[in-house]
């Protein structure tokens, strides 16, 4: 056995430090001392990378059969894009975008679109929430007025302690009431208590008749 001899993917490049061994270089670049007998008998044909490659190729072929040309959600698998590591595929989304996706995400349903599906779902969710809000508001609307708002508690931003009362820059207190989306000014007063009293009178004159008619209608139903 001499330098330059080849056995499978091994090539003898020099003498080994042990008797009956040769210093060999594999086609992949690995250098190793290999027993002369295993070389002659064909028991060692490479450093082992070929076995790994064969195993990898079998896995790739199996995955290719599972995904190539098939559709997962909105993604159609076009081709494999890698020759090592985890299987990755170029996919075309129904929206026209192309992305690279790992096979595991396709097979487990972890990825079903280029991202447009997530956007669509988010849009649908927001529209659903808005619709529920609109339905709830409409259910409480009577004569152009949101009945529930008539009995709302004091806002946290209110600094006077009275609903429908705000302090003016002049130091006086302004009373107001909202009806059918419009704010009605009730006057300005020296004290918050006086402004609150004006607000209570307005509620009795404006809100109460609406509430009474609403309750009467519901009783008939």
Tens of pLDDT, residue by residue over 50-64, are 676 777 888 899 999
Mean pLDDT, range 159-184, rounded to an integer? 89
> What are the domain boundaries of the chain?
6-47, 51-108, 142-220
Question: pLDDT digit string (tens) for 134-155?
Answer: 655 555 566 667 666 666 777 7
Specify the CATH superfamily of domain 142-220: AP2/ERF domain (3.30.730.10)
The owner of tokens 């076009």 is 78
Residues 79, 96: Cα–Cα separation, whole Å: 16
């Amino acid at each position: 056995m001499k330098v330059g001899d080849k056995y499978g993917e091994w090539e003898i490049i020099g003498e080994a430090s042990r008797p009956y061994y040769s210093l060999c270089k594999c086609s992949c670049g690995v250098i190793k001392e290999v027993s002369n007998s295993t070389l002659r008998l064909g028991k060692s044909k490479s450093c082992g990378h070929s076995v790994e490659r064969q195993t990898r190729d079998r896995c790739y072929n199996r995955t290719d059969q599972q995904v190539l040309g098939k559709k997962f959600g909105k993604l159609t698998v076009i081709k494999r894009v890698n020759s090592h590591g985890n299987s990755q595929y170029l996919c075309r989304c129904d929206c026209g975008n192309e992305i690279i996706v790992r096979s595991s995400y396709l097979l487990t349903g972890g990825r079903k679109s280029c991202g447009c599906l997530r956007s669509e779902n988010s849009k649908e969710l927001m529209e659903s929430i808005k619709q529920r809000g609109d339905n709830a508001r409409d259910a409480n609307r009577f004569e152009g007025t949101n009945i529930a708002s008539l009995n709302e508690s004091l806002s946290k931003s209110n600094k006077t302690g009275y609903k429908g009362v705000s302090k003016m820059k002049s130091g006086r207190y302004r009373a107001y009431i909202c009806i059918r989306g419009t704010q009605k000014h009730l006057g300005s007063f020296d004290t918050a208590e006086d402004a609150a009293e004006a607000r209570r009178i307005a509620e009795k004159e404006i809100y109460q008749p609406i509430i009474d008619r609403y309750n009467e209608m519901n009783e008939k139903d």
